[in-house]
Each structure stands twice: as structure tokens, then as C-alpha cells.
């Protein structure tokens, strides 16, 4: 853990008091034992040391900076320094059409791109008052992709969390399984991430031939492989000793800080927006809300592991429903919102098919003009504001979209669960050991792209 505790004379650190960084002695730690450091201080040893962990530390989940005040190896104070991955996505969306906004927001929480797209599309559809017009097949495809995305995100959380505590086998099999999900994403949308596939009014295109067979094969395989995690970790005394009692945050603390998702459910509260405030027809699916009663890192691991089983149940139900919707539309019928012809892939697997181009360019001048205006300018959204949250892998993810009646968002602000849940860092870490900070952070599963936006 490479650390420094000082900045140059006269510089200002917005995340640490001046006394933390520019007064007293500077200690640079480059990986040696703590005993050798404390002995080197001699009689001049201070009662506390301020350590910067990150933002490039491999155990801080992306570019997260932690300012830790230590007494020995006990954390007396922990603060988060964020903003290193700020990309201006929300501001950029104000300069793009409503449909183009999808290509921006999908990049925020890059481990849950479909949930970003979904909450934004649902908000725009509420402003357009077309929620009841979205075709059934589009809604089922949205649920299917969301649950596959939940599985892939939880796999990354468990894999990286295992890696950080030395369980490298958990990491390797976690990323192995995630590759299977990304293969399905690529089959359905053409991309492994940053899809911009869920759009206001429906989805970009229909399922390709053979997709349902691939999905069913994936479900069958995962039902065999998920128990590997349980066998490897659930009752493993080393794994449990590393997680049990670490990062404890009870229900009162979760509610006070606004935490949602697995941290909240690990405290025993069955709050899941798919059940409590259903969207996209989730009320028609049979699944259980998973809770635990330990309110610690081990409970959050068990919640995520069990949630993947429930997501597989939902994916199976989606596949069965899609089998009966062959050829059904996947975009609203209103041509002022939907493009004149649906996207389709050419015979070379790239670009639009010649049939699509022939329809647009050759059959109707009016269709060509309308297509040009719809793509370049976009549709107008009535003035107003809407907030439609969804249950992302990390908790409540919501888009607050505001329209002034134009073709671009007046404001789009996202309530990202990583940002809210990160508040719990200090509560879970203070009083514990330095090594337990990493476990506590991993159990929240923050994605810094969603925190900074």
C-alpha cells in the first residue's frame, strides 16, 4: 500500500484538513511491515497517521480515494474522496436529443448499463404519456436483459471481492461466468457493454434467430455452476471468518443513510422495487426477495448469491413468454417517436440491411424527410418532470428527467445507488482494522462511473 500524508507547501487538499497533509513529519510507506515503520519513528512517533489509499489502489473499486486516520492498524476516521471519474454525462445529455441521451447514460454504472438505460427510458415514456403503448415484447425483453445484467454485475462483485481477500478461485470462476452473459449481450444487442439498446418507446431491435436457445442453454449451465460458489464459500471457515462481523451496518443505519439494494436486504428488510413498486410488468413474474439477518459483509455476499438464482428464474419465464411473441413489435407504433423502419442487420452482420435502406431511400420521399428529421432533430417531449426508479444490482437507481417541451432534456439527474451507499464507508470502517476497510468497501460494490457521472 503506497501512501503519502503530505502535499507540497501551500497546496490545498479539499478532502483532508491542512493539518492532515501539510504539517508535521511526512511518512512514505512502500510496503514494509508496520513494526519497522513505527521503530523508525523512535521517540517522535505521533499518535495518529493519515493514510491515502487510492485513487489507483487495486482494492478501492476503481478510482476511489480513501483518507484513513489510523492508530496503529485501527481506523479511527475514514473519508471518501470522489470525482476522479467525473465525465459530465448529465450535462452532456442536455445537448443531445432524447434518444441520444441513452448512449450517454448507459456509460454511468458500466456494470449495469441496461438498468441505466431502463430508468431513463421509463422516465421519458412517462413524460410522453406512452407507458401503456410500449409493446409487451419490448417490456419482456427489458426484463430479460435487466436480469441477465443483474447476474453479470453480481458475478463481478463476488469475483472482485474474492480477489481482494485472496480467494482467487472465486475471481476466476466469477469472470468465467460473466463472459457467458456478455456473449448473450453481444448476440442480442451487438455489443458487450454501452449498448444504448433500451430506448424511449421500446428496444432498438428484435431478438436475433437462435437467441432463445442460447438463453436457455445459459440458464441450464448456470444452474449447475452457481452451486460451485456455495460449495466454495458459504461454509468455508476462512471465507466466513474474513467476512462475518465485518462492515456491520444495521437496519437503522441503512435507513438513516438511505442505503438500498443488498446492504439493506442483508439487514432483514425485504425492500425490492421489483416487488414494492413494480415496473415493466414485474408483478407478473414469480420470484422471491432475498433477505439475510446478519447486516454484515457475509450477509451481503449471501444475498447476492441467492439473487442470481432468482434472476435465473425470471430469465426462464421471460424466455417462455418470448417464445409466444414471435414477430411481435418491439417499438411503439407512433411514427412520431419510432423510426419509420425498424433497424435490421445486413447479411454481412454489419450495418443496416439493404431492405431497410431501400424502404427509406426509395419508396417514399415523405418517409425519407421524416426519418431525417427524427434522427437529426429528435421528437419533442411535453414540458414536465418524471422520476421512475428501478432496482439495479446495487439498489434504487432512478432518473429524474425534466423537459421544457423541446427535443432535448432540460435536465437529467440520476440517483445512483453507488453514490448513496458509499456514505456508509466511514460508519462501517471506523473502529475496525485497515484490512477490513477493503472488505467493507467490496461488500457495498460501488461503481465509480455511477458515483461521479
> pLDDT per residue over 352-402, tens digit each?
566 666 766 666 777 777 777 777 888 888 899 999 999 999 989 999 999
Supply the pLDDT for residue 37.
60
Instruction: Name the residue with cell 436486504.
Output: 265
Q: How far apart are CA 249 and CA 383, in angstroms?
A: 41
Contact of 34 with 73, CB cutoff 8 Å: yes
Whether residue 439 has pLDDT greater than 60: yes
Express each pLDDT in 418-428 by its tens digit. Answer: 888 888 888 88
Of how many residues is the chain composed?
453
> Is the model's pLDDT at 438 over the cut of 70?
yes
User: Would you say residue 130 has pLDDT above 80?
Assistant: yes
Q: Given this model, what pLDDT does residue 59 score? A: 59
**Cα 374 off chain centre by:** 30
Q: Which three cell numbers stand for residue 240?
A: 466466513
- Give the whole-angstrom CA distance, residue 192 versus residue 204: 15
292 closest CA partner among 272, 306, 274, 312: 306
What confidence score (pLDDT) does residue 173 get? 85
Q: Are 72 and 34 in contact (CB under 8 A)?
A: yes
DSSP-assigned beta bridge partners for residue 128: none
Tell whether the model's pLDDT for residue 204 goes beyond 50. yes
User: Percentage of the chain with pLDDT > 90?
Assistant: 15
**pLDDT tens digits for 242-296?**
888 888 888 888 888 888 888 899 988 888 898 899 988 888 888 888 888 888 8
Which domains can be identified in the chain, with CATH numbers? Answer: 18-81 (no CATH), 89-330+381-415 (1.10.645.10), 338-378 (no CATH)
Rounded to two decimals, the pTM is: 0.83
- List CB contacts of 132: < 8 A, sequence separation 6 or more: none
If you average pLDDT over every residue of the chain, what do you get?
Answer: 81
| pLDDT-derived band at 442, boundaries 50, 70, 90 | confident
Least confident of 68-72, 180-184, 307-311, 405-409: 68-72
Nearest to 436 by CA among 296, 320, 256: 296
Q: Does position 66 have pLDDT exceeding 50, yes or no?
A: yes
Taking residues 45-53, report their average pLDDT.
Answer: 73
d(CA 179, CA 181): 5
| pLDDT for res 49 | 82
Mean pLDDT over 49-71 rounds to: 76
Work out the pLDDT band at 31, boundaries 50, 70, 90: low
Cβ atoms of 306 and 227 closer than 8 Å: no
Q: Examine the pLDDT at 26 and tell me if it is beyond 80.
A: no
Amino acid at each position: 500500500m503506497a501512501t503519502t500524508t503530505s502535499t507540497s507547501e501551500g497546496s490545498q487538499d479539499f478532502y483532508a484538513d491542512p493539518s492532515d497533509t501539510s504539517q508535521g513529519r511526512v511518512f512514505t510507506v512502500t510496503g514494509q511491515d508496520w513494526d519497522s515503520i513505527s521503530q523508525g519513528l523512535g521517540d517522535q512517533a505521533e499518535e495518529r497517521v493519515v493514510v491515502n489509499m487510492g485513487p489507483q489502489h487495486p482494492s478501492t473499486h476503481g478510482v476511489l480515494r480513501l483518507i484513513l486516520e489510523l492508530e496503529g492498524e485501527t481506523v479511527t476516521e475514514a473519508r471518501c474522496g470522489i470525482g476522479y471519474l467525473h465525465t459530465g454525462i448529465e450535462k452532456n445529455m442536455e445537448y443531445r436529443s432524447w434518444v441520444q441521451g441513452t448512449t450517454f447514460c448507459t456509460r454511468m454504472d458500466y456494470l449495469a448499463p441496461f438498468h441505466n438505460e431502463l430508468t431513463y427510458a421509463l422516465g421519458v415514456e412517462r413524460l410522453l404519456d406512452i407507458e401503456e403503448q410500449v409493446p409487451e415484447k419490448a417490456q419482456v425483453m427489458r426484463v430479460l436483459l435487466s436480469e441477465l445484467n443483474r447476474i453479470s454485475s453480481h458475478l463481478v462483485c463476488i469475483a472482485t471481492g474474492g480477489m481482494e481477500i485472496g480467494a482467487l478461485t472465486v475471481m476466476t470462476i466469477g469472470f468465467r461466468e460473466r463472459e457467458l452473459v456478455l456473449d448473450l449481450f453481444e448476440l442480442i444487442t451487438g455489443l458487450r457493454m454501452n449498448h444504448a439498446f433500451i430506448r424511449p418507446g421500446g428496444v432498438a431491435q428484435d431478438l436475433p434467430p437462435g437467441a432463445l436457445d442460447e438463453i436457455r442453454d445459459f440458464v441450464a449451465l448456470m444452474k449447475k455452476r452457481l452451486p460451485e460458489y456455495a460449495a466454495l464459500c458459504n461454509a468455508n471457515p476462512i471465507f466466513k471468518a474474513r467476512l462475518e462481523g465485518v462492515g456491520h451496518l444495521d437496519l437503522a443505519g441503512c435507513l438513516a443513510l438511505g442505503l438500498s439494494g443488498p446492504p439493506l436486504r442483508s439487514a432483514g428488510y425485504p425492500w425490492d422495487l421489483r416487488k414494492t413498486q413494480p415496473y415493466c410488468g414485474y408483478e407478473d413474474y414469480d420470484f422471491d426477495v432475498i433477505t439475510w439477518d446478519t447486516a454484515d459483509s457475509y450477509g451481503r455476499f449471501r444475498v447476492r448469491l441467492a439473487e442470481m438464482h432468482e434472476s435465473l428464474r425470471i430469465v426462464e419465464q421471460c424466455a417462455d413468454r418470448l417464445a409466444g411473441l414471435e414477430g411481435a413489435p418491439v417499438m411503439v407504433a407512433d411514427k412520431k417517436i419510432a423510426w419509420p423502419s425498424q433497424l435490421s442487420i445486413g447479411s454481412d452482420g454489419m450495418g443496416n440491411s439493404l431492405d431497410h435502406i431501400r424502404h427509406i431511400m426509395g419508396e417514399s420521399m415523405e418517409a425519407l424527410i421524416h426519418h431525417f428529421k427524427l434522427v437529426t432533430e429528435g421528437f419533442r417531449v411535453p414540458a414536465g418532470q418524471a422520476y421512475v426508479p428501478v432496482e439495479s444490482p446495487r439498489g434504487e437507481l432512478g432518473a429524474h428527467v425534466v423537459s421544457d417541451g423541446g427535443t432535448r432534456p432540460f435536465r437529467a439527474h440520476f440517483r445512483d445507488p453507488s453514490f448513496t451507499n458509499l456514505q456508509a464507508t466511514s460508519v462501517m470502517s471506523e473502529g475496525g482494522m485497515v484490512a477490513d476497510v477493503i472488505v467493507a468497501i467490496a461488500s457495498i460494490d460501488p461503481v465509480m462511473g455511477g458515483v461521479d457521472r
